[in-house]
Structure formats: structure tokens, C-alpha cells
Amino acid sequence: MHAPRSTATTRTAARRTTARRTAVLAAATLLALSACSSQGATGSGKPAELTEFTPAATGQLDHATWNLPTGEPLSLDPAKAGDYSPSTVVSNLCDPLLRLHADYTYGPGLATGWTWTDPTTLVLDLRQDVQFWDGNPMTSTDVVASLTRQQDPATRSVNADALRHVTAITADGPHRVTVRFAQPDQLFVKALTNGFGAVGEASYLARAGADYGTPGGGLMCTGPYRLGEWKAGESIGITRTGHYWDTALQPKVKDLTFRFITDPATLTGALLSGEVDGSYEIGTATARALARSSAGTLYRGASAQTVFLTPTGPDSPLADPRMVQALQLVLDRDALIRNVYDGAAQKLKTFVPALVRQHDPAAATYAAGYDALPPVPAPDPDRAREILAGAPNGRLSLTVAVAAGDQQSLQTLTFLQDAARRIGLGIEIQQLQPAQLSGLFYDPTLRQGLDAVIVLGYVELPDPSSYVQQMTDPGSLFNWVGYRNDTVTTALGEARAAADPTEAAEAFNRAQAAFAEDLPIVPIAAPDERMFLNERLSGAPATFAYVNMPWAAYLGGTR
């Protein structure tokens, strides 16, 4: 699940260093933010331009240090790497069959091409010059083992839904794999761009078993870097392989060390001092400090991230669309984006950011469907009060969960809390330790006593329907309210099956028009990606696509 799951497992990884904060502190922080200048993160007073790639690196470096601001990964098994920290590391270790690009398009990776020989038969042609870190060649046997292990529930693959319609995966020669489906499934191809499509050595996978991806079990992949020493609670080291198959993308940094600094103030100090060379996912407070320094450059890139409020079950007041409408009408998104995100975010009509669709072959069709949706509503407290008066259960309070230590989400909730109070709606903010918040996404008993969760998620695949399906499909683990709309389900199924991009976009638009009206979710904002590089580094992509592309292979010295 690349929506609720993203917040959940991310915050779990931060469990060792985050501390419980109070809503009083959040309110004080928000007041301070409101008093600050409304300038963007650049400090110029003008909207910052979004960057796709930082200037190309020219120099070699022996070592660089990178931070994982959401904490230490629980696993580096690509099948389980569906979140910020693990994906930031794994994307440089384990190449997938298809490669995601910085603009969210995709192309050949370990597979040189893919062909639908008929509507339910897909043939993958593999590169013949790829070696694992141990020097063994990659063959179709490794690909079949990597994909089929995710059919086993014991693997706990976060992308197992990609196999929903698969009936067989077979090796047809040393460098060809055939996948057969019960029905057409174009989404399968796009799923090959992330950890689902990553290839591990079959014999190593068999030996490591459940320990694969752990400090003790290790990895055996084909990426530009190999896994070095993993010091639990302290750091993860990776080292360039020296025989990477992609001759156009040879790493310039020999050794890269990942740190796990989750406290914003500590991270700010480490970046300013040069103790840490760079980081993705820079928060607003840190961005302000970095923008005023000469230690390096703060970049803003397009993002596939989204922030929204979702109910925890069918009995939640937020499961009533009228409550959603009322909250929509009290939320001043312009002020929120200005004060909480320093302008580094976009308003959204739904919860699928533009980056996911804007470079698709059918981008114009997707854009037309989005433009046809009703506009983001302007604040209208009087109308919100009228809607609340008609709520059937008369309950005018919500208990909303947020991860302790997630300052930006806490500030967002405090902003919404203050606005809702003006129409007689109470919002109680309940901060949960990251492990507890993570658990509630999968264990319904942990959602008891909660009405909603603020979610910081992202669309991982270059396809908008992949994200929506996780919250609207009647059988989805994350459809907590039992949402069912046959128009949405049918249209998303048609989008998944459509071989023609325009037909897929038209089907998605039909679904979007329906779920935008009745799905009980409150879209809040789509944050931009913020990344910092100190003055000795350059080359890395600045967009959110970094989570599934070998971004560190682009990194290098500035001289």
C-alpha cells in the first residue's frame, strides 16, 4: 500500500529517536510559522522552480554520507521495501527489470524489452551482460525466483497485488521469461519498476530464506552498489561494485554511508556542519535554515507524495461524506501551504499528484479528466455549519492519529483543528509511537478509539489507478470503511486491463469523477520534494522518483 503504508512503516523506522510531543507545542510552532515570512524555501519571495536533476557531477569521491530522515530500515529485502528509508537504500543495490526515470516515465532496465504476444501473455527479454555482485551471471532462473517468491504469503511482499491476475511465470531459455495472466493486466508491467521487479540471485534467495534483507542475511543483487556493513541503530554502508552493467551510469562515489537522524534540529546541524553531505525529505524548519546558509544547495523537485485525512472505519464520523465536505470547507489550503510548507506544496482536488500522470502518453487525457473535477473549495464556514447540522449521528468530534515526531503532519492537524473549532467541530490529536501507528494500518483492533489518521503517502508506480485501487477496491486491506462504488471498481478494472494508454486514462477519469464525489477522504496537499546537497556534491535527481531509481549512481563531486 503506497498510501497509508508509506506513513506507517516510515514512522516505524524512526521509532528509536522520536519523542512524544504535545498539541500545545504544535500550536506554538504553528503560531511561529504564521508569524514568519510567506516567502518560499528559497527566501526570494518568488515561487521556487522545480528541478529534475542537479548539475551533473564531474569529480570522483572516496566517501559521502547521506541521511535517512525517516529512520533505520526494518529490512532491505526489495519485496518489503515499500517506504522511504528502505527504498532510498535498495534503489541503489537491487536493479528492477524496468527502470523508473526522474520524470516518472520508465524504460528498459534488467529487461531490454517487453512484448505482449497476446492480451494475457507477456514476454520479458533480459540483458545478457548482467552480473550479480559475486560475479555470477543473471539469468531467467533468477528472475522467476525473484517474482514467484512474492506469491508466497510468508515473503510478505508489499507489492503482492501485482500478481493478482498471474497464473504462471516461466523461464523460456536463459534470457527470456514468460508471464501468463488470467485476464489482461497492464499494471503488472509498471510494477516491474519498483521493488517488486528487483532481481536477486536465486541460489542466494534460497539460502537466506526469511533472513534475506536483514543485517545477518544480506542481499545479492545487480545494482551499482553492493551492501557493506550494516551497524544496527547506527549506519548502513554501501560500496560501488566496479562491474556495473550500465556503462553510462558508473558511480563516482566509492563508498556511501547512510545515517538515521530523525530529529529535525539534529539533522539541520549535521547538514550545516558537513557531518552529513545530503538528504531527501527535508522538512520546512530544516529547509529554512539551509536556505539561509552557504553550506550547499536546497533543491525542490516534483513529487508523487500526498497528504490526506482518512477515516479508520465505517463507524467513524468521517466515513460520512457530509463530514468530509464540512472539513473541506473549513480548510484554508493556501494559508496551510504558505505557513506549514513554506509554499513547497500544491493543492489537490483528489489525492493523486500530477507527477504520476503528467508525462504519461495519455497525459492530456488525464489532465482533461482532472480539470473537469470541481475546484478545490474556498473556505466557507457558514456552509460547513449547515452541512454539520445535517449529520445523522450528531457527533461533532474526531480523534485523529499522527506519528509522534512527524512535525509537519502535526502542524497540519493543528491548523485543521483550529479551523474546525470555529464551526463547532472538535478534533483531538492523538500522537502514537511509530510502531503503534504502523500496526494500526494492518491490525483493525489497533484502530479502536480512533476516528481518522493523517496520511503522508506516495504513488510509487507511474500509474494513477494503482494508488486509487488500494483505497477503493472492496477487497483491499486499506479500504477500512467498506467503500463500494461499482462504477469506480469497474472503471479501474478497465484501466488496469487497457493496452491503449488513452483508453486506460479515459477509464481512470470515469472512476475519478465518481470517487472524488463520494470517497470519504480529505485531500490536504501534495508536498514538493526537498533535497539538500552540500557544496562538494552534485548530480543526484531532485524528484521523488529517487525512491525507485539508482540515484546515488548519479552522485559525485563538484570538482
How would you write 257-315 as a 3-class SS string? EEECCCCHHHHHHHHHHCCCCEECCCCHHHHHHHHCCCCEEEEEECCCEEEEEEECCCC
pLDDT of 435: 67
Residues with Cβ within 8 Å of residue 450, at least 6 apart in sequence: 312, 316, 399, 400, 401, 430, 440
d(CA 289, CA 41): 9
Q: Please, where are the H alpha helices in 73-153?
A: 84-90, 140-148
pLDDT of 393: 63
d(CA 27, CA 398): 18
Give every residue of the chain whose pLDDT is below 50, as ranges. 1-47
Work out the angle between the directed axes of helices 501-518 and 464-472 (0-180°, nearest 10).
Answer: 40
Cα–Cα separations (whole angstroms), residue 374 to 486, 513, 516, 520: 21, 9, 9, 16
pLDDT of 463: 95
pLDDT of 394: 65
pLDDT of 12: 34
